[in-house]
């Protein structure tokens, strides 16, 4: 079994209100994104974290820490959400066309 990704920084939430972290292998790629794209992706992840932080009793659309994806402007983020509402970005893919579409 693979080791979980390690948190390497403080929360990426620009307002400091949500717990969003980048794994070591995703942090550099996030830093390479254009600032407006980075800002938009962080806004979207903050929305995910806000819903997740409401707790399992109010959210039932994910049951575990499976890998989820978020796509915007030619970039795909692979991330997970733990039971306490923390969001962890695992990978940043610059060519999401190679990734399968959700159904």
Domain range list for the chain: 20-96
What CATH number labels 20-96?
A: 3.30.2310.20
Share of the chain above pLDDT 70, in %: 72
What residues have CB less than 8 Å from 68, skipping those under 6 apart?
A: 62, 78, 79, 80, 81
Could you read off the pLDDT of 39-57 as tens digits, one per residue?
A: 999 999 999 988 888 766 5
pTM: predicted TM-score of the whole model, two decimal places: 0.75
Tell me what the pLDDT averaged over the chain comes to. 79
Length of the chain, in residues: 103
């Amino acid at each position: 079994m693979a080791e979980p990704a390690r948190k390497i920084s403080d929360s990426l939430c620009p307002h400091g209100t949500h717990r969003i972290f980048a794994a070591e292998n995703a942090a550099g790629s996030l830093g390479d994104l254009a600032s407006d794209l980075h800002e938009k992706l962080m806004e979207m992840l903050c929305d995910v974290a806000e819903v997740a932080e409401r707790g399992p009793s109010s959210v039932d659309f994910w049951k575990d820490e499976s890998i989820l994806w978020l796509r915007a402007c030619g970039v795909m983020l692979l991330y997970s959400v733990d039971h306490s509402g923390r969001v962890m970005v695992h990978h940043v893919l610059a060519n999401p066309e190679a990734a399968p579409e959700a159904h």
